[in-house]
Amino acid sequence: MDLLNTLVDKGLRRELPTRDEALAVLATSDDDLLDVVAAAGKVRRHWFGRRVKLNYLVNLKSGLCPEDCSYCSQRLGSTAGILKYSWLKPGQASDAAAAGVAGGAKRVCLVASGRGPTDRDVDRVSETIKAIKDNNEGVEVCACLGLLSEGQAERLREAGADAYNHNLNTSEATYGEITTTHTYEDRVDTVQKAHAAGLSACSGLIAGMGESDEDLVDVVFSLRELDPDSVPVNFLIPFEGTPLGKEWNLTPQRCLRILAMTRFVCPDVEVRIAGGREVHLRTMQPLALHLANSIFLGDYLTSEGQAGKADLEMIADAGFEVEGTDQVTLPEHRAAGGCHDGGGVCGSEGGGACGSEPAPQAAAQDGPQTGEPRTDLVAVRRRGAGTDLAPNA
């Protein structure tokens, strides 16, 4: 396909595709799917080889969130039967992190529910970061605490945090349909605060909330413009007891197209398959490794994931290797900090702006394909952080 040859060439040059090209990837047929995966796989291997970075989530504080994000089992008014607990002590969090590191994780992601941290919360998380780094040589720590106030990103960086995660989740045009207690602009502001403080910014999306192809392209183009180092692609886990608990809009094939489109738009960025891969990709998970260079190991915040041992076997069987703590994840030009000049030449040839002016939208494509609900694959986490049971790592 001429489209795929063009996208591979652009990906190898870090050149932004047009919106029409990105939309065309999402509109490809199942007959062309393996060609799409192979093309995006060339871009992935060019920048990241066959390495897979493992990340491990530690839920520092679960449930009881005052925000109303429709997709979230921890939201205000959620009746999902998830674990609910207040802040883990630094030693507890460090022990949970150590299990993930022992399983091969290179990065530990510290997550806490809530609108955003108080200064006391930042102190608490700073102590936790120190405990984890003291006990796990070479591990990266990413914090995900919600909306940041002035100076908080700098304090986390001083405490030893390497990265900060705050997802855009969906397009600016539809953001108000999934959340009303904060705005899309609030989220953008927090990602920019992380950048400005010298933290590696991590920001991604959630697919499967009923969005259109145009919404998916919009949010990925917005992420390209924000220029995070890592882009987690979540697939909605429809929890009963949440407003989106009945949304089953994804098939494995659509998930692969979304990952491929993300790779073409963000060719030299760590693309991470995040929540929901077991629920929606299912037996197609190994194919997704040809598109993404990063996954979460084991369980998620409030839901169970694939067994950690199965994750490692999947990576090996697919011909990939786990990235070690002695290896640099990002390509040299990104790892050196050359792509964070606030709107400079990240990912485009000839001096074009990062996330330069989008081309006109293509005509609307058919809506998302609907998969059969697999409620049997949605399991609430009952082990690990916040429990007396061993974690899945």
Known binding positions? 65, 69, 72, 109, 142, 202, 272
Which residues line the annotated binding site for [2Fe-2S] cluster? Answer: 109, 142, 202, 272
Which of left, alpha, beta for 103 (phi over 0: left; psi -120 to 50: alpha)? alpha
Question: Counting Cβ atoms within 10 Å, is residue 380 exposed (0-12), middle (13-18) or buried (19+)?
Answer: middle
Q: Which of 124, 157, 263, 272 is catalytic?
A: 272
Asked if 43 contacts 8 with a C-beta cutoff of 8 angstroms, the reply is yes
Continuous segment of H or E residues that includes residue 143: strand 140-144
Tokens found for residue 169: 């989740």
Asked if 52 contacts 322 with a C-beta cutoff of 8 angstroms, the reply is yes
Strand, helix or coil for residue 345: coil
Tokens found for residue 303: 């839901």
Q: Is 339 a catalytic residue?
A: no
* φ, ψ at 219 (rounded to 5°): -70, -35
Which of left, alpha, beta for 208 (phi over 0: left; psi -120 to 50: alpha)? left
d(CA 11, CA 347): 9
Contacts of 356 (CB under 8 A, 6+ apart): 16, 348
Q: Which of 44, 72, 144, 266 is catalytic?
A: 72
Q: Is 272 a catalytic residue?
A: yes
Q: Which of 51, 65, 75, 277 is catalytic?
A: 65
Q: Which of 144, 202, 266, 354 is catalytic?
A: 202
Q: Which of 14, 109, 255, 277 is catalytic?
A: 109
Which residues line the annotated binding site for [4Fe-4S] cluster? Answer: 65, 69, 72
Asked if 61 contacts 86 with a C-beta cutoff of 8 angstroms, the reply is yes
Q: Which of 14, 69, 224, 346 is catalytic?
A: 69
Q: Is 65 a catalytic residue?
A: yes
Q: Is 354 a catalytic residue?
A: no
Q: Is 277 a catalytic residue?
A: no
Q: Which of 51, 124, 142, 354 is catalytic?
A: 142
d(CA 274, CA 295): 6
Q: Annotated catalytic sites, by residue?
A: 65, 69, 72, 109, 142, 202, 272
